[in-house]
Structure 1
Amino acid sequence: MRGPHWLALFALILLCWVVLYAMALPADLRAASKLYGAEFWAELCTVTPDAAGFARVVLMWILMSAAMMAPTALPAFATYDDLAKQAPGARFSHLVSGYLVIWIGFSLLAAAVQMVLFRLDLLSAFGDSRSLWLSGGLLIGAGAYQFSTLKKACLSKCRMPLTFFMQYWDEGPWRNGVRLGLVCLGCCWALMLLAFVGGVTNVAFMGLATLMMALEKLPDIGRYLTKPLGVALIGTGIAFMAWAMM
């Protein structure tokens, strides 16, 4: 992983995490700190639906998707970079751009869902669930998806990036990136929506979810993680449902 394109990618990931951390800081702490005292940053870091509006909620989801999903795709990016050394027309930047386009689309939908759930008073202004039924339903749904055929098919492609790229190489880097993004979306969309349980602005949740999704895509580790994670999510969801009925 050498070269300016890798430095640019890692810089993008780091920048996304830094901005997400700034967004997660409490408002009173931002107001007290000169580091975040500029009016621009104060406005940017206000991402609650009631104060920020749809555009900044979308921006937050785009940053979150890039920060969380790009690290999980690093093995695939590295595989493509190795193959591209033998093909001068293969642009690494086009691959990453195609990949991120899919997650920008997901971010638009996720932000819209967040706004609707907030208006229904099912989410707090900070994006965490106010309803045990909603939390339980999301957890059970994400857990059940761990056992689905679609999840299995998408994970098989993520775990074998060389086979994936050899199959679709002739389509070019941008379409390869879009395909990779779709496969990655198929693996991770349900786990990403658990942000509504853990809190959309909860950096600790984001870090843990990123780690789980990255490990799940590794062939030697992921096959031992996917189903136990599904069982744990379903069990936690059932516990939330039982708590709601008490």
Structure 2
Amino acid sequence: MAPMQHTKGVAERLARRDQAVVLGAVALIVLLSVVYTVFGIGMDMTAVEMTRMARPIGKPMQMGAGSAWTPAYTALIFLMWWIMMVAMMTPSAAPVLLLYTAIKKAGSRPHQAPLLSLAFLSGYLLAWAVFSIIATGLQWWLESWGLSDGPMMSLSSRALGGALLLAAGAYQFTPYKHACLLHCRMPVQFLTAHNRTGLDGAVLMGAHHGVFCLGCCWALMLLLFAGGIMNLYWIAGLALYVLAEKHVRNPRLFASTTGGLLLLAGFYVLATAF
């Protein structure tokens, strides 16, 4: 077989298996992100070590001061947040991504479906990059005011931890939360209403979907400050919760029940803070 014909044959087989290609790429991205997060690459301790040393909300271990916030350290903290968000949020975006792939496969340029899908995913993850920038700034502010334990990356104030639980719980009842959750749970309507063409259109669609997902989950993600940013129990628990929230039969009841439990936990933490 001539080289050109062989290359064309490989491309055609990949195009026929576009969903498998996209799903495999997503799985690889998630796996690499999980490995990076668990081993805390570039950090003083791994996430496993930090999880073992974790303490109740607002009762951090007495350790030395954290690292100085140099540009390199700031970039490292941003990467930590962003890659952690990639590991936590990408699985919940898989259904809309696969549906988008199927739609593009049925379109006028089916051979571009995998590339467009990865562009869509890139836009989605860009939205979480913006969140990660904000989270990095918030972490710097908390440490600057002595409200966060630098080495363990958790709140040093039990009252502040309780207030964060209350805020996250209250947000679960807001119309904005439920509106964003509805968009995340109805990918067909989203893709129909916000359809764009081309690679730039795919990126914008992914970013738009990411904004809805961010609107749904930002308060939950900030709970990492309460439990410890690198606490694997909190990371896994929040990731599983976000995945469940988008697939349960009655999402409003599910979110409201969670909100009630967070409010109760917040009141308890506040009551025992003084």
- CA shift, 1:25, in A, is 3.7
Q: Tell me the CA shift for residue 115 of structure 1.
A: 1.1
Residues 33-88 of structure 1, C-alpha deviations (whole Å, 9 max, x = no match): xxxxxxxxxxxxxxx64487211110100111101111121221122122121122
1:32 alignment counterpart: none
Measure the CA separation in 1 of the matches of 2:171 and 2:142: 22
Of 162-171 and 216-225, the range deviating more from structure 2: 216-225
Match of 1:64 in 2: 84
CA distance in 2: counterparts of 1:154 and 1:49, whole angstroms:
37
8 Å Cα contact 2:78-2:136 kept in structure 1 = yes
Match of 1:4 among 14, 17, 21: 21
Residues in 2 aligned to 1:190 and 1:131: alpha-carbon distance in whole angstroms: 18
| In structure 2, C-alpha distance between the alignment counterparts of 1:202 and 1:219, rounded to whole Å | 26
Q: Distance in 2 between matches of 1:18 and 1:94?
A: 23
2:246 alignment counterpart? 217
Offset at residue 26 of structure 1 (A): 3.1
Per-residue displacement from partner, 1:85-108 (whole Å, max 9, x unpaired)? 112255101100110111011101
The answer to whether the Cα contact below 8 Å between 1:5 and 1:93 also exists between their aligned partners in 2 is yes
> Which of 173, 177, 190 is the matching residue for 1:147?
173
Distance 2:176 2:95 in 1: 21
Structure showing greater radius of gyration is 2
Partner of 2:187: 161
Match status 1:93 vs 2:122: no
| Displacement of 1:196 | 0.3
Deviates most, 176-185 or 114-123? 114-123
Structure 1 CA distance for aligned equivalents of residues 184 and 75 of structure 2: 31
The one-letter amino acid paired with 1:111 is T
SS in 2 for 1:26: helix
Alpha-carbon shift at residue 190 of structure 1 (Å): 0.3
Checking the alignment, whether the CA contact within 8 Å between 2:248 and 2:254 is kept in structure 1 is no
Q: Which residue of 2 aligns with 1:41?
A: none
Deviations 1:185-233 (A, max 9, x none): 0000000000001110111110000000111112525333100000000
Distance 1:196 1:207, change over 3 A: same
In 2, are the aligned partners of 1:146 and 1:229 still within 8 Å (CA)? yes
Residue type of the alignment partner of 2:188? L
Mapped contact 1:98–1:175 kept (Cα < 8 A): yes
* Structure 1: segments with no counterpart, 5+ residues: 30-47
Number of the residue aligned with 2:39: 22
Provide the rounded CA distance (Å) in 1 between the counterparts of 2:120 and 2:182: 20
- Aligned sequence identity (%): 35
Q: Is the 8 A contact 2:149 2:156 kept in 1?
A: yes
Mind listing any 5+ residue stretches in structure 2 that lack a counterpart?
Answer: 1-17, 41-46, 53-65
Look up the match of 1:128: 154
TM-score by length of 2: 0.78
Paired residue total? 226
1:37 is matched with: none
Contact 1:159–1:219 (CA under 8 A) maintained in structure 2: no
Per the alignment, residue 196 of structure 1 pairs with 225
1:221/1:214 Cα in 2 relative to 1: closer, same or farther (>3 Å)? farther
Kindly tell me: are residues 127 and 221 of structure 1, through their superposed partners in 2, closer, same or farther at Cα, counting changes over 3 Å?
Answer: farther
Q: Is the 8 A contact 1:132 1:241 kept in 2?
A: yes
C-alpha distance in structure 2 between counterparts of 1:221 and 1:20, whole Å = 32
Structure 1 SS opposite 2:149: coil
Residue 77 of structure 2 is aligned to residue 77 of structure 1: no
Q: Distance in 2 between matches of 1:215 and 1:12?
A: 21
